[in-house]
Amino acid sequence: MLGAFVLGLYFVWWLFAISCNVWLYYVMHAPEYGGPLAHQIRKLSSPVQFDTVFVGDSSLGNAIRPEAFDRIAGTRSINLALSGNYGYGGPFNMIRRAIETRPVRNVVVMMAADSLNRPMVYDGFVFTAPNPWAPHIPLSDAAEILKTFLRRVVVESYGASGLLDEWFKPDRPGIDPRTDYPTQRGKTSSLYPPSVVQSIETRHLVFVRAIVSLCKARSLNCLFVHGPWFGKTIRDNANYTAKVNGILREAGAEIIGETPLALSADELGDGIDHVSPEKIDIVSERYAAMLAGRL
């Protein structure tokens, strides 16, 4: 009798913990993963109208201010940048979310030039998916997505402590009104870090292909462009960038610009691929000129 009671109590606790995880990840959109996911999803619920969607990582979030871009490009754009932790799976789902709310014509995918050097994770897809359905994803990867969902939501039960941590987390960066993106943490401390990138994680391409396939299915003008990089880093990684361009093109991506947009030391923010908030309008206009005639 006592054993059944203990087992029942554990089962109730397990269901409560899973419910907390679901609320944390899919209602608050605020996993411990970090990034401005909840802020970007709220934009899609606002009355703002747009025909051009920017998706990508923090190199995008710190580089494009839609108002400055639109003045040159003649578009009505929205910046839905996440962070590098979400890989290409996060941007794929942000496109899915955006095209269900507005008549979108253009999609611009901007990721840091070294994004294919990062480890492959399916968590970014799991945390951002608008629904469990995974269109344009091969069955083998859909199985990995399911395994990741079960691990993150069912097995790793943070329960109420996870909710409290998100509600009262003291060090969560606020949104900088100049960039409409999380506030940077000062200026990068080193202009010359070890910057030669070697490896390429080709498993990211499953989501690159999914983006291309989704854009074709919905007749969207989909362009890929590298996020900005410190000028010396670009020179040090010329061979790597050329290799990445070839791999992305084989996956069907239409790339604008053979090299990342070069940043001077004065234009750097808190990283070698982050624009200083004071320079974001200038960089936005440079990207608008780069994409002129393609949107």
Tens of pLDDT, residues 96-114: 999 999 999 999 999 999 9
Mean pLDDT of the 141-152 span: 82
Sequence-distant (≥ 6) Cβ neighbours of residue 18 within 8 angstroms: 153, 154, 157
> Band of the pLDDT at 281, cuts 50, 70, 90?
very high
Residues in the chain: 295
Give the predicted TM-score (pTM) of the model. 0.87
161 residue type, one letter: S
Place of tokens 């070698």: 272
Strand partners, 177: none
Q: What is the share, in percent, of the chain residues with pLDDT greater than 70?
A: 78
Q: Are 40 and 94 in contact (CB under 8 A)?
A: yes
Write down the pLDDT at residue 267.
95
Q: How far apart are CA 52 and CA 184, in angstroms?
A: 25
Mean pLDDT of the 12-38 span: 61
The residue that leads in pLDDT, 288 or 198, is 288
What letter would DSSP give residue 107? E
CATH of 2-184+196-290, picked from 3.40.50.40, 3.40.50.880, 3.40.50.300, 3.40.50.1110, is: 3.40.50.1110
- Residue ranges per structural domain of the chain: 2-184+196-290
Nearest to 159 by CA among 26, 28, 23, 6: 23
Q: How far apart are CA 101 and CA 121, in angstroms?
A: 27
What is the C-alpha R_g of the chain?
20
Mean pLDDT of the 173-183 span: 89
